[in-house]
Structure formats: structure tokens, C-alpha cells
Amino acid sequence: MCHGLTLPNPPQMSDGTMNENEVAQEIGKRIRQWRMNTPPPKTRRKRQNETGWRPHMTIEELAKATGLTVTTVNKLELGYKAPRIESLLLLSQAFGCDASELLPKTKHRNSGKSELLNELAAAAAQLGAKQLRELIKQARGMEPG
């Protein structure tokens, strides 16, 4: 984490996943938060007394720092589209952070596994030894997936 910026975890579906649109919107929020917390380039810091001076990086300055167009940066920040990997890396360099800081924090895909194992253990506790052995035999015969 850079600049001491901590971002909240996004809302997620019950299985901990987000659809493509939600991912783009969350990344856009994070890009905006990082931009708003990133100081302007040194060349502009000297002009603090000028009218219209902003204490953060502007979209135009971010576009220049990344080599992306202003339109692209704007669309990314508004969550209209998710950034390509190359763009994500350019943005993270401009902010001085790890690219993962711009990505939503979602539950690991296997996080529900422990809940399922607990449920399986509870169900297995109701079975007799013979039924339990049959269940284990069936489970071992299944392909992972």
C-alpha cells in the first residue's frame, strides 16, 4: 500500500464474486481515490496560489503520466470499462503503488470451501460408519472441478 491510502472492500454477491460491470466500477472508484490522494507533479506544486489550483493530480496529469488518453482515463475512472493489464500497470506506476491496490478485494474462490467442509462434516456426523465409508469412496472417485 502506498501513500497510506486504505480503500473499503466492495459489495459482493453472496458467493463473493462480482460481475464484470461491478469490477470496472470498483476499479474506477479506486483509480479516482488514488488520483485524488496523489499530489500533483512537482512542476505544478509551485503554483499553489493560482486560481483553480488543485492539491491532487488531475485527469489530464494522470493521462500524461501514464501515456493514456484523457478520454481513456476518464472512462476508466467512471467505471465504464475495466483497464487492460498494461493500463493497470501504468496507472499503478503513476500512483507509486502496487497494481493490486487498484483491484477490488474479493473473497478467494475457495473461501466457501471451508463452509462446505463444515456442512459436509455436520451431515457426515449423522451417517453410520458404513454410509460414511461409501461417501468417502464416492468422493475419492470424483474428479476435481
The alpha carbon of residue 111 and the mean position of all alpha carbons in its chain are separated, in whole angstroms, by: 17
4, 5, 55, 63: which is closest to 29 by C-alpha?
5
**CATH class of domain segment(s) 20-102:** mainly alpha
CA distances from 111 to 43, 140, 145 (A): 47, 21, 15
Residue with cell 453472496: 14
Write out the chain's pLDDT in tens, 145 residues: 444 555 555 544 445 577 889 999 999 999 999 999 888 877 665 556 666 666 788 999 999 999 999 999 999 999 999 898 999 899 999 998 888 889 887 655 445 666 676 677 667 667 777 776 777 778 777 766 5
pTM score of the predicted model:
0.60
